[in-house]
Every structure is written in C-alpha cells, then in structure tokens.
Amino acid sequence: MQDTLLYEYLLGLKSPWSVSRVNLDVKEQRVDVWAEHPDNAAWACPQCSKTLPLYDHAEERTWRHLDSCQFQTHLHARIPRVECPEHGVVQVGVPWAGPRSRFTLLFERLAIDVLSQCDVTGATRILRISWDEAWGLMQRAVKRGQERKQAKVVRRIGVDEKAAAKGHRYLTLVCDLDDGTVEHIAEDRKQDSLAGYYAGLSEKQLNGIEAVAMDMWQPYIQATLAKVPGAAGKIVFDRFHVMGYIGKAVDTVRRQEHQELMASGDEMLKGSKHLWLYSWENVPEWKCDLEMKPVAVIFNDKELVRLLIHFNLPAEF
C-alpha cells in the first residue's frame, strides 16, 4: 500500500480530499502529510450550506494529528474559500478539524481522554503540547458539550466559588445537585457571575427551580433574589458555612467570658477553646459537667442549630 493511501485511511479522508504527499523526517522524528482536492470540487457555504464553486484558498495551515508510532504527525492543507451571494467570501469547514483549531479532531479526542485521567502538567508531557494548548483543548471540548446539551429544568441548584489561581482569582460554579453535572462556569464571584447563568434560562426553567444551595456570599444571594421567582423561600445555606459562623459566635462569647473571669482571678475557661467546638456527642465525658453559663448557653444554641439542620419535615407538612 502506498504511503499516501495509508494516510488517507488513517485520516479518514473522503472525496474530494485526498493525500497528495507524505514526508518522513527520521532525524526530527516527524511525519508531514499534505491533503489536496481537485480544482473542480464544489463546496458548501458554512453559513447556509449552499453548494458553490471554489473561489480561492486561504494560506496553508498545519494541524497536529495522532502520532505515527513515536513520530509526531502534522497535516497540511490550504482551506478552500467560496463566494456566497448571501454571506460573501467565507472559508469552508474541513472534515478533520474544528474551526480555528490547530489539532485534528482525532488528536483532540485523545487529548481529552488523557486530560480526564491526569492533571494538565502530566497531560502536556504525554501529549507533547504546551500548557496553553492543553487548556484550549479543554475549553473547546466544554464548548462542544454545551452546544450538544439539551435545555432542562434544574430543580435543585448548587452554587459555589472555586479558587482558580493564586492572588484571589475565583470562578463561580453552578451544579445540578440531582444529576451531579456542572451547568455553568463564570469568571470571578460577583453578582454578575451568577446572574449570567440565570439570564440564559427560560421562564419555565426559572420557575422550575425549587432550591438554590449556596454559602452566605452576598453577591450570590442578591443575584438569586433578583432573578429567581420566590427566591427568598428557595435559598438554602449550606451546613458547612452555617456551622462555621456559629462556631465563630461560640468562640467570640468564650473569649468575652474568659476575659471577664480572668479579671476576677477565675481561670475556669483557660485552655477550653477547642472544647466548645465539639459536637455534643463528641465532648469528652470528664468535661460534660463544667458549668460556664454564658458560653454554655451559646454552645447549646449551636447544638440546637445542628439538630435543626438534620431535621426532616414529614412529607404532609
């Protein structure tokens, strides 16, 4: 089998495209493949699909393809352009790569498989690509997935921020808590970061939201109150942050009472900071009988809130 025919099969090229030349560079461990087409081939306008004759070509481009054994493989072609009566002179699509991508679709598929199994740094070493190229591949994969995604009503939404880099750079994440899928990612953790998600929902989708779980971050609260019908009764603060605030309140009362007791020479609360952060069932038995009224009251309040969080109303309530 000729090398040109072999690479036509490997690349999955169909008429009017064919492989015209293959060059092997053993020293550089590289294979270069050139794809061409006959001059009389007709092409579809990428905007309206109208069949049109060749107008001219764009400059030659190169795409990284799957390696041929240990040799990096690169595909070269000049992309045809057509003159559409409605859309003007436009560049047609090619069957082996997406628009503006520097990689073939087969390489992108392999890259996403690798990136799903290891971190970005490891993937760049295996695939022999740069960090920026790896992130570009991931972003295009996410975009393709979003375009294929069917609109649905997300009944229970989870909203959270994630630190994306050093220097207090954050991303806002919106998840479907029932399906475990990521529905939206936005830069920063501002009100607009979440409002942008709500703005893309239909009236039916907004009305279908039953609960929005989040921490007590005001921009998220304000965005939800402004966009979701009946949001005041649908916002659910997550347990971790609620108990975190209550734990701080307990410690504030402990410090105040400790200062008052120390002023009168009473060291009862000395060294007890972590005691008051226990859950009641985890308090060491020998410490259960300590009587320190103000801090004990706030401790009991903390435990009542913890019980309330775990309380389930009956279905008929």
Q: Is the pLDDT of residue 204 over 60?
A: yes
More confident residue, 279 or 55: 55
The CA distance from 13 to 128, in Å, is 25
Residue 217: name the closest of 206, 228, 225, 209 by CA: 225
CB hemisphere CA count around 226 (13 angstroms): 14
CB-CB contact of 182 with 174 (8 Å): yes
What's the distance, Cα to Cα, between the start and end of the chain in Å?
A: 75
Give the pairing type, strands 71-84 and 42-44.
unpaired
Residue 272: name the closest of 198, 145, 253 by CA: 253
Q: What one-character DSSP code corresponds to residue 287?
A: G
The CA distance from 295 to 254, in Å, is 5
Sign of CA dihedral 46, 52, 55, 58: positive
Q: Is the pLDDT of residue 273 over 80?
A: no
Domain ranges of the chain: 1-96, 98-149, 156-237, 240-309
Angle of helix 191-199 relative to helix 218-227, nearest 10 degrees, comes to 30
251: amino acid identity, one letter? D
Structure tokens at 274: 């972590």
Q: Largest Cα–Cα distance of the chain, in whole Å? A: 100
Q: Locate tokens 């794809």: which residue?
A: 35
- Rounded to the nearest integer, the mean pLDDT of the chain is 87
More confident residue, 248 or 120: 120
CB-CB contact of 31 with 71 (8 Å): yes
Q: CB within 8 A of 173, min separation 6: which ones?
A: 158, 159, 160, 161, 162, 182, 184, 185
Would you state the pLDDT for residue 317? 40
The CA distance from 125 to 121, in Å, is 7
Q: Residues 134-191: pLDDT tens digits?
A: 999 999 998 888 888 888 999 999 999 988 767 778 999 999 999 998 899 898 999 9
Structure tokens at 57: 């070509």
Query: What DSSP string describes 252-268?
Result: HHHHHHHHHHHHTT--T
- 29-43, 168-182, 251-265: which is most confident: 29-43
Residue 32: name the closest of 72, 59, 91, 69 by CA: 72
Q: Locate tokens 């400790």: which residue?
A: 258
More confident residue, 276 or 100: 100
- Which pLDDT band holds residue 268 (cuts at 50, 70, 90)? confident
Any idea which architecture 156-237 has in CATH? 2-Layer Sandwich (3.30)
Q: Which helix (H) or strand (E) holds 196?
A: helix 191-199
More confident residue, 290 or 114: 114
CB-CB contact of 187 with 171 (8 Å): yes
How long, in residues, is the chain?
317
Q: Residues 219-244: pLDDT tens digits?
A: 999 999 999 999 999 999 888 877 78
Q: Is the pLDDT of residue 96 over 80?
A: yes
Q: How many CB atoms lie within 10 A of CB 172?
A: 24
